[in-house]
Structure formats: C-alpha cells, structure tokens
Structure 1
Amino acid sequence: MDKASYLQVKWPDQCSGKLDNVFAATTLTHGGVSKGDYREFNLATHVGDDPAAVSTNRVKLVEDLALPSEPVWLDQVHSNKVHVAQRGNASADAETHPVQADASVTRVRDVVCAVLTADCLPVFFSNLEGTEVAVAHAGWRGLHDGIISNTLAAMDSSVADVVVSLGPAIGPQAFEVGTDVYDAFLSKNQQNSSAFIATDKIHYLCDIYQLARIELSAAGVSGFSGGGFCTFNDSKRFYSYRRHKNTGRMASLIWFR
C-alpha cells in the first residue's frame, strides 16, 4: 500500500531559515484504504465512510507522517470557537467526543493540532520562534464571524510575531455564492468587495483566499503566504464537497518539535 500523501506548507519568505522545527501540511486523497466516494485517504468520521476504514486511515496518518502524538481532532461546526490544546488525544473519550471548535492552538511541543476540510480554507499559524502554532477551519461563515481574529487572540504571541499560510481551498472561479454572503461580508468591511465578482444580479464568484487576506491585514498580520489552489477543480489531489457531497475530508496538521 502506498504511503499517505500530503502537501507541506510553504511559509512566507521572511521565515527563510526559521521554523525548521515546525511541521505543517495538508493530506491529499492518496495512500489510504477508503473505497468508493471516499477513496482513498478520508480522515473524517462524520461523512458516511466505513468507520473501520477511517480508523485505519487515522492510524496510517500517525505512522506515515511520523506524528509525535494522535491529532487533536475537533467537532467542527463552522463556528468562531478556538480550542487551546494542552495535550494530544490520549484518551478514547477525546476521540469519540472531541471538543466543539473550529481552530486549535498549542504552546506544547509535539501536540498535533488538526482541522478537516473539503473546500473550506485551512489557515496555518506560527510565531517566528516556532514555539506556538495553530490551525483554523475557515469556511465563509467562520471567516465572517472572526475565526481568524479569534485564533490570533487565543495565541500568546503578539500579532506582529505571527506568520500565516493559507492551505488548499475552493478557488475563486468555482465558489459561487448568493447575495446573502455578499451582503454579510460588505456590511462587515467594505474592502471585502474586492473578493467578489458578480455573475448576475443575485450571484457572485467569491475568493475565499482574498477574504482571509483582508482579515489578516486588518488584524495586523504582515507575513502571510499560500493560496492559489482549487479543491473543486483538482480532483486528483483534493476532496471537494461542492464537487461531490458524498466525499472525504483532508486533514490539515501542525505541530512543533
């Protein structure tokens, strides 16, 4: 069986020679045992996949990526809640009853923060010293409700000391939304208009990467990178809920040694 495949995060240029002790990556669809709509490396337990296959994939994730501990899995609900992780999922209860949140932060070595996505935006955070890291699940609801700013607020590091990388999400040519989403973002910040292109009177193409960049800039983050992916159009590497509602989830993981 092939090893689990993943896409490693590229940090901003200002991090050159730094963060060698930080590992951050998003898994791809290859290297697991799931079948059918979930093939091959689905890591989500809530999407209808065979639980035994997901369990095998999660064990394989730890082994193939040499994770120092079981990831801190979250019960993601498109919220703006952030969990501060003190240790890994060391108990069965943590696996079956995960914390309800859409981001996790840790200041503890070898604790693996994780979020699951299949079009939504995974956002990776680290301080420049590599002693505090975080990852957030940012769909449009979470972005609008402040999941990025809340994650930054949950970190002990000053915003000026934090760098960010944007992982694989649905691209701006594939993410069509209605006036409700457009109006919600413009009422929050008029600069968000640059993330929308009207396709008719009631529909817009939405650039979720641009919305994240605007939020990061407004929060005072000067060092961020990433973007340019499209989970919808790249079916060879990514799951996409918009492409196929019965589908798996990639895991975006971060920890420091």
Structure 2
Amino acid sequence: MCPDFIVPDWPVPDRVKAIVTTRKGGVSGGAYDSFNLASHVGDDPGAVAANRASLRAILPGEPFWLEQVHGTEVVMPETGSGEPAPPAADASCTRQPGAVCVVMTADCLPVLFCDDAGSVVAAAHAGWRGLCAGILERTVDAMGVSPERLHAWLGPAIGPEAFEVGDEVRTAFLREDAGAAAAFAVGKEQGKWLADLYLLARLRLARAGVVRVFGGGFCTYADAERFYSYRRDRVTGRMASLIWLAP
C-alpha cells in the first residue's frame, strides 16, 4: 500500500520540503491500522519498523525522532540521529540540508516553520500544556531569525468542536493572555469549555511576531478514516509531521 501524505499548501521556497502522514497506507493492524509510526503505543514493533522504513525511503535522511514530553525544549538534529535514544524535547530546528525535523501527534497540534529565505526549518509539538508554556515562542527563538521573516503551518489537530477542557486549562491560558478568551466556547457541562487549539496557536504566534500562518481547519477527532485521535480512541497510533531543507 502507498502511504497517504498531506503536503502543506504555503508560499515557501522550493528547497523547503514538508509532509504530514495520515493513518492510511501502512501495515499495522487493529487499533493501529495502518500507518502508525510510534514505537511507544503498544503496536507490533515489526509493523512500526516497516512503516518507518516506508517513510524513510522518500526522505533525504533518518527523521530526528523525539521523546515528546509536553514541554518547551528545542533541539538541533543531525542527519542520521534518532533512536535508540531520542532526546526528550518537543521541537527541533535545523539549518543543515537533509536533516529531517519531525514531531508525532494524535490530537496535539503539529506546527512547521521555515524562514522566507529557506535557510532554517523547524517542527514543534504543541499540545495544550506545551502551547501554554511557550513551545512555539521557544521554537521561534531557536530559529535565530526575525519573526516577521517566518512562515508557520498548522497541521492536523483536534478541532474546536471536539476539544473539551476544564476551567484549569482556560485559566492557564488567560493568565498568559486575556485575549485567549476568544479561543474558548462554553461547553455542555458547567466548568467545561471547548478550546480552539488552532486559534490559541495563532494568538501565541502573533504575540511572538509571526503573522504569516497557514493551515488549520483539520479535526483529528472527527475524521476517523484519515487521522489517529487519542481522545477518541485512547489506544491508537501516531501521525508524523516532517520538514527539511533539500540537500
């Protein structure tokens, strides 16, 4: 089977390459059907290895896998690095052609970055904790260029009609920015809110000076045919969002 990829639609230099995998086109079975790329979710290791090999075949180097911890650490990959000991971090950035930045998600928001000169790229994993703590701002800082020179693309995440959170989540964001109230709608139960991860990311990026933001509009929870969703299924696989500079 041929993997199903999403190619970001954004106005970036030709040497900037990016893809996002979906759940379709691999060899995993059961709850992980079928293109699961995560080795930590209980899937058959042989199936994960086969799926990763299919992905690696179209890339210029081994993806720089991370142990994502919902934090704000940003690391720099080297071509060929990765397992068996991926670093504990939630973003990576590089200026090295052929080095592949990657984050895995199944409801959290993947954000890809590049500058308008095509000299640096980055990938960030933004669950609500990391987003609130500043993972996007830390990634922008690590890229080492003026924010107004950056492009950002928002990949598949849980949509605003499905992401229900408690008062503590809303309070955490409002503590950082009162304007974040616009990203929360009243939920069906008292003390519950529907949170818009895409809007929260756009607000944080705008505050960091990044105004050229593309993508969004997906919902991993609603589209069970194409996307994994941890909130929907609990036992599930992971998609990958990857970006690199052509060698």
TM-score using structure 2 length = 0.97
Counterpart position of 1:86? 78
Give 3-state SS (helix, strand or coil) of 1:242's partner: helix
**1:41 counterpart = 2:35:** yes
Tell me which moved more, 137-146 or 78-87: 78-87
For 1:254, which of 205, 226, 243 is the aligned residue? Answer: 243
Counterpart position of 1:148? 136
Counterpart position of 1:3? 2
Runs of 4+ in 1 over 4 A off after TM superposition: none
Distance 2:129 2:15 in 1: 32
For 1:69, which of 61, 67, 71 is the aligned residue? Answer: 61
Q: CA deviation at 1:5?
A: 1.1
**1:107 counterpart = 2:95:** yes
Counterpart position of 2:26? 32
Counterpart position of 1:157? 145
Distance 2:112 2:217 in 1: 15
TM-score using structure 1 length = 0.94
Give 3-state SS (helix, strand or coil) of 1:151's partner: helix
Checking the alignment, whether the CA contact within 8 Å between 2:62 and 2:79 is kept in structure 1 is no
Checking the alignment, whether the CA contact within 8 Å between 1:86 and 1:107 is kept in structure 2 is no
Checking the alignment, whether the CA contact within 8 Å between 1:118 and 1:240 is kept in structure 2 is yes
Checking the alignment, whether the CA contact within 8 Å between 1:33 and 1:56 is kept in structure 2 is yes
Q: CA deviation at 1:10?
A: 1.5
Distance 2:59 2:19 in 1: 12
**1:21 counterpart = 2:15:** yes
Checking the alignment, whether the CA contact within 8 Å between 2:115 and 2:145 is kept in structure 1 is yes
Counterpart position of 2:48? 54
Q: CA deviation at 1:87?
A: 2.7
Q: CA deviation at 1:88?
A: 3.1
**1:193 counterpart = 2:178:** no
Give 3-state SS (helix, strand or coil) of 1:136's partner: strand
Distance 1:62 1:86 in 2: 15
Deviation string, structure 1 residues 4-29 (Cα, Å, up to 9, x no partner): 11101111xxx2xx411111121011
Distance 1:34 1:195 in 2: 36
Q: CA deviation at 1:96?
A: 1.3
Distance 1:86 1:128 in 2: 22
Give 3-state SS (helix, strand or coil) of 2:230's partner: coil
Distance 2:225 2:103 in 1: 21
Count of paired positions: 245
